[in-house]
Amino acid sequence: MTDTAVLAAPVAGGAASRPPARRRPRLRLRLAALGFMAPVVIFLAVFFVYPIIRGFVLSMQDFGPSSFITGDADFVGIDNYVTVVTDPIFGTIAWHTVLFTVVSLAGQFAIGMALALFFTRRFPLSATFRSLILLPWLLPLIVSATAWRWIFDQQFGVLNAAIGSQVGWLTDPAVSLWAVIIANIWLGIPFNMVLLHGGLQGIPESLYEAAALDGASRWRTFWSITWPLLRPVTAVTLLLGLVYTIKVFDVIWILTKGGPANSSHTIATWAYEQSFTDLQFGVGAAAGEILVVVALIFGFIYIRAQRKETFG
Amino acid sequence: MITKTTRLRRGIDLVIAIVACGFLLFPLYWMVNVSLTKPQNLIQTPPSLFPSDPTLDGYVQALSTQLPNLVTSLVISIGCVILTLAIALPAAFAMAKFKVRGTGAVMFVFLLAQMIPGIVLVTALFAIYNALGLLNTYQGLILADATASVPFAVIILRAFMLGIPDELIEAARIDGASNWRAFVSIVIPLSRNSIVTAGLFSFLFAWADFLNANSLTSGNSIVPFTLGLYRYIGSTTTNWNGIMATAVIASIPAAILLIVAQKYVAAGVTAGAVKD
């Protein structure tokens, strides 16, 4: 690779010989670029693009426990999709997914926005506090989830002690979904705060000064200046948050494993259970593909929103 | 000039910040608190807000049972950092400094990579690994973990390398240096900070991985600490100080990252949302 990467700059002597000499460097440049790009292209092809295709094929195969050993899996067309959609639990789980996503997003966004607004104020140690709040985002999820497991404990948990109740946060089917939503909101606050804080920095100070001169209240200033000018960033934050939230797996799996009695399953955890607990990989893959389609739809809306933000 | 009211206002803001931070970081405080509490004191109600009778037994327990798992995670994470940088550095250089036609396509694949649910990818990887014999191997886990860190690293490194003046590389070329030489002796040293950042984040991604480990390994062949901790939670109802001590020890890399690369952490959170 080193050799093909040589640039022929010094070879190109004399003004007369320049035009033909120029061609070769360009070709060599392209070869060099190819050499530098080769590892990433190969890696992406093998460990990302191919698995996506394999996943799609898998969703149309009868890949069960025996397929591990034999490696054979019959093509079954859309059978797995039919199995997923006609499963009596599917409607409930789809509803959980919507509830989990919408409530998580709303909570993360509201708290993230409040913090972002607060941190535009000037006070000592502001930057330090702001980066401390990022800690939940940096910690391994298993660590935070472990902390929440004990906080939510019915008998000895600090949450029940604080509110003086005996709620079985992780064991009562009526509240388990809310427990994982609470933990997930907490996890998503840093992401929302950072994005929105960045957006707020971009609003010109002079607008606020003008509003202050006109005697506008803080409430009025927020709705007339901050909110409309922040809209592109808001859109990007919410859309990206949605794409991330819809595929959340670890929090739920570690806290409740989707239970008890499927009460906190979302499509993501249910699909995983089909594959890795029930060993029906074809069915699990089909449920996963449904998630892919939803994520891609909002993903493309996100890309468009971001273009708009960039090019006005 | 700072007036009295301004000073008062800043004081109030500081208090609000302390309260908000305390509230948000409470789960992490609680983790530390429990890690220092004796098991018999953990089952009293209401729970004690401070480790009034602290003990390091939890840490002794954590190290005696989870140390091999932490070492396993360390090996996988370091492997992932090396692999990620080896792939991402040349790619970022080419995408920043040659006008490569595929740049747009690669960035698009990166965007896609963020959207595809991890469970979908890992289910497919399972089928592939099963056929290739990569289940229960270090290589398999490192490669799977790198699918998350490579896009991230390329985005961070490329953004930084775009800022390296073309003239520097041109000058090296005129002196007869090959592109490879320019890359190794100019671009890499200049990008040191961003390499550290990308490396730290890659480390953290692999360190935190639970999904790949839980899906692509079985039994006790390879047990990273995430899996060890997960099984620990499931198996015990009394040793929560040991569990929390493990969690505290496992948080150390993240804490180091926050201190060492504070400036870049916010950039890391938003790297997914970068333009292009």
Can you give the CATH number for the domain in which A298 is found?
Answer: 1.10.3720.10
Tell me how many residue pairs between chain A and chain B have CB atoms under 8 A apart.
Answer: 291
CA distance B198 to B191: 10
Q: What is the pLDDT of residues A111-124, one digit of tens each?
A: 999 999 999 888 88
Pair A21, A163 in one domain: no
Pair A293, A155 in one domain: yes
Instruction: Say if A133 falls within a structural domain.
Output: yes
Do the chains contact at A243 and B114, CB–CB below 8 Å?
yes
Can you give the CATH number for the domain in which B217 is found?
Answer: 1.10.3720.10
Instruction: Say if A73 falls within a structural domain.
Output: no
CA distance A192 to A108: 7
CA distance B70 to B249: 9
Instruction: Say if A218 falls within a structural domain.
Output: yes
Do the chains contact at A43 and B146, CB–CB below 8 Å?
yes
Instruction: Say if A59 falls within a structural domain.
Output: no
Pair A149, A30 in one domain: no
Q: What is the pLDDT of residues B213-261, one digit of tens each?
A: 999 999 888 999 999 999 988 876 678 899 999 999 999 988 887 777 7
Do the chains contact at A44 and B109, CB–CB below 8 Å?
yes
Instruction: Say if B151 falls within a structural domain.
Output: yes
For chain A, how many structural domains are there in total?
2
User: CB burial class (10 A; 0-12, 13-18, 19+) of residue B115?
Assistant: buried
Pair A20, A111 in one domain: no
Q: Which residue of A has its CA nearest to B44?
A: A156
Give CA angle at A139 (A235, B41), nearest 5°.
Answer: 125
DSSP B220-234: TSS--HHHHHHHHHH
Instruction: Say if B19 falls within a structural domain.
Output: no
Q: Which helix (H) or strand (E) holds A165?
A: none
Lowest mean pLDDT among A102-111, A200-209, A281-290, B38-47: B38-47
| Closest by Cβ to B10, choosing from A115, A124, A276 | A124
Domain that holds residue B204: 57-273
Instruction: Say if B216 falls within a structural domain.
Output: yes
For chain B, how many structural domains are there in total?
1
Pair A23, A169 in one domain: no
User: CB burial class (10 A; 0-12, 13-18, 19+) of residue A207?
Assistant: middle
Helix (H, G, I), strand (E, B) or coil at A232: helix
Do the chains contact at B98 and A32, CB–CB below 8 Å?
yes
User: CB burial class (10 A; 0-12, 13-18, 19+) of residue B22?
Assistant: exposed
Q: Taking the CB of residue A68, how many other CB atoms lie within 10 A of it?
A: 16
Pair A29, A152 in one domain: no
Query: Which residues on adjacent β-strands are paired with residue A62?
Result: A74
Q: What is the pLDDT of residues A225-265, one digit of tens each?
A: 999 999 989 998 999 899 899 999 999 999 999 989 999 99
Instruction: Say if B27 falls within a structural domain.
Output: no
Instruction: Say if B219 falls within a structural domain.
Output: yes
CA distance B96 to B86: 16
Domain that holds residue A33: 1-8+16-43
CA distances to A129, A143, A280, B39, B244 from B251, in Å: 18, 7, 35, 22, 10
CA distance A227 to A141: 32
Pair A98, A24 in one domain: no
Instruction: Say if A241 falls within a structural domain.
Output: yes
Pair A155, A31 in one domain: no
CA distance B180 to B163: 19
Instruction: Say if A98 falls within a structural domain.
Output: yes
ipTM: 0.89
Pair A1, A100 in one domain: no
Give the pLDDT band (50/70/90) at residue A77. confident
- Whether the CB-CB separation of B259 and B144 falls below 8 Å is answered with no
Instruction: Say if B116 falls within a structural domain.
Output: yes
Residue of A3, A36, A294, A296 best to disrupt the B interface, most CBs of B under 10 A: A36
Pair A39, A93 in one domain: no
Pair A114, A183 in one domain: yes
Do the chains contact at B27 and A291, CB–CB below 8 Å?
no
